[in-house]
Amino acid sequence: MDIIQPGTSEYEEADLFLLMAATVSNNSNGCYHSLCGAVVVSRAGEVIGSGFNSPPQGLESQRRCHLTDADFSERFHSDRTCCVHAEQRAIMDALRHNAHLLPNARLYFGRCDQVGQLQLSHDPRCTICSKLILDVGIREVVLSREAGITVYLAVEFNDLSFAY
């Protein structure tokens, strides 16, 4: 994990892509908990995929975001959100249009409040997304954290997700 230093060109670029992820999150149309956006950026600095969280296409009326842990069986040990994650959608978008640029790309993730303001991200914790990130060859994941803009190697992001 590395913290990008403010005042550097890398910081300015990362801040731009995090704000882009926040803008993409405005398309989220179903989650009552949070609005999330993600952009996948090639090593050349080109956005090659973007996505937001929301229920699967055509199932927007079947939201389950209002459910609490008490609403699920004790045996249910999977993702309890009704949404396809922003990271998943951004990766699928890149796979459809720019699969050859995915190896060594960076994924920028932004979580926003209900008025679209970028919020600090939680610790890495989604093993579904972290495994997918590894599988398609994305090299790094960038989050806005309390310590600053933080870059995780995909392997480290996956390990932290499993340790959560």
The pLDDT value given to residue 83: 82
Q: How far apart are CA 84 and CA 51, in angstroms?
A: 9
pLDDT in tens, 63-109: 555 555 555 456 544 455 668 999 999 999 999 999 999 999 999 99
Mean pLDDT within 36-51: 97
The pLDDT value given to residue 54: 87
pLDDT in tens, 97-143: 999 999 999 999 999 988 888 999 999 999 999 999 999 999 999 99
Domain regions of the chain by residue span: 2-163
Q: In terms of pLDDT, which residue wins out, 1 or 68? A: 1
2-163 maps to which CATH number?
Answer: 3.40.140.10
Q: Which tokens is 54 given?
A: 């929301």
Question: What 3-state class would DSSP assign to 136?
Answer: helix
What is the chain's length? 164
**Nearest alpha carbon to residue 90 among 139, 144, 36, 126:** 36
Q: How far apart are CA 151 and CA 148, in angstroms?
A: 10
The pLDDT value given to residue 115: 81
Residues 6+ apart with CB under 8 A from 114: 35
Q: What's the pTM?
A: 0.88
The pLDDT value given to residue 72: 45
